[in-house]
Every structure is written in structure tokens, then in C-alpha cells.
């Protein structure tokens, strides 16, 4: 039989998810910039920088998507 197709994440969760992911994303961004500011050029590890940046951008990416969805801009 035909089955109703619904969104992968319940619509009601969007605002909470937006706050959560954006908060985590911003904290990771903060830690990335703190690390950049506190470490010297020599002691910096590129791998650590890239990892933090990647994880932060995943959270910020999904965070901004959920912000859009929660505010009614259904992409």
C-alpha cells in the first residue's frame, strides 16, 4: 500500500535541534580560534586544526539548516 512520506526528523524538533547544533558548532568554532590564538606557529598541529574545523563546520552546517527550517524557510 501507499505509505505517507514524512520528514527524516520530526518537524517539531527543528527549533531545539537548531539551538543545540548551533551552540555546539559555535563552541567548537570558539575552541578552534582559541587554539589558533594561543598556540604558536611552530607548536600548531595542522591535523588538529583541520579536525576541529571539520567537526565545527558539520555542526554549523546542520545548525544553519535547522535554523532555516525552524524559521519556516523550507529548503
Partner 1 sequence: MWMRRELRHLAMARRNSLTTVIADVWDKAKHLREAAEEEERHVCKAWKISSQVVRPETTTTATMAPPLPTSILLLLAVAFTVAAATATSPTAPEDGIRVVSAEKRIDLTGPIVKVYLTLKVHNPATGSDASHVLIAFTPLEAQHLAIVKATRAEGKRKKKVYVPLPVEPVDLAANAPDGARLYSVSLSAPLRPSETTTMEVFYVLTHSLEPFPAEITQSESQLVYYRDSALLLSPYHVLEQVTYVKMPSNRVESFTRVDPTARSGPEVKYGTYKDQLPYAYSPILVHHENNHPFAVVEELVRKVEISHWGNVQVTEQYKLKHGGARHKGVFSRLEYQSRQSISGASSFKNLLARLPPRVHSVYYRDEIGNISSSNLRTDSHKSELEFEPRYPLFGGWHCTFTIGYGMPLQDFLFESEDGRRFANLTFGCPLLNTVVDDLTIKIVLPEGSKSPQAVVPFLTEQHLETSYSYLDVVGRTTVVLKKKNVVGEHNVPFQVYYEFNPVFMLAEPLMLISAALLFFVACIAYLHMDLSIGKSQAS
Residues in contact with partner 1 by the rule CB under 8 A: 1-11, 25, 29, 32-33, 36, 41, 44, 46, 49-50, 53-54, 56-58, 60-62, 64-65, 68-69, 72-75
Rg (CA), the chain: 17
Instruction: Map grid coordinates 574545523 to a residue.
Output: 53
Residue 63 C-beta: closest distance to partner 1, Å: 8
Residue 25 C-beta: closest distance to partner 1, Å: 8
Whether 35 and 52 have beta carbons less than 8 Å apart is answered as yes
Residue 31 C-beta: closest distance to partner 1, Å: 12
Rounded CA-CA distance 20/75 in Å is: 20
Amino acid at each position: 500500500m501507499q505509505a505517507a512520506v514524512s520528514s527524516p526528523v520530526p518537524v517539531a524538533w527543528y527549533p531545539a535541534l537548531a539551538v543545540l547544533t548551533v551552540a555546539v558548532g559555535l563552541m567548537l568554532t570558539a575552541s578552534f580560534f582559541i587554539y589558533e590564538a594561543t598556540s604558536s606557529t611552530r607548536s600548531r598541529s595542522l591535523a588538529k586544526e583541520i579536525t576541529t574545523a571539520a567537526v565545527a563546520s558539520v555542526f554549523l552546517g546542520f545548525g544553519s539548516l535547522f535554523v532555516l527550517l525552524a524559521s519556516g524557510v523550507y529548503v
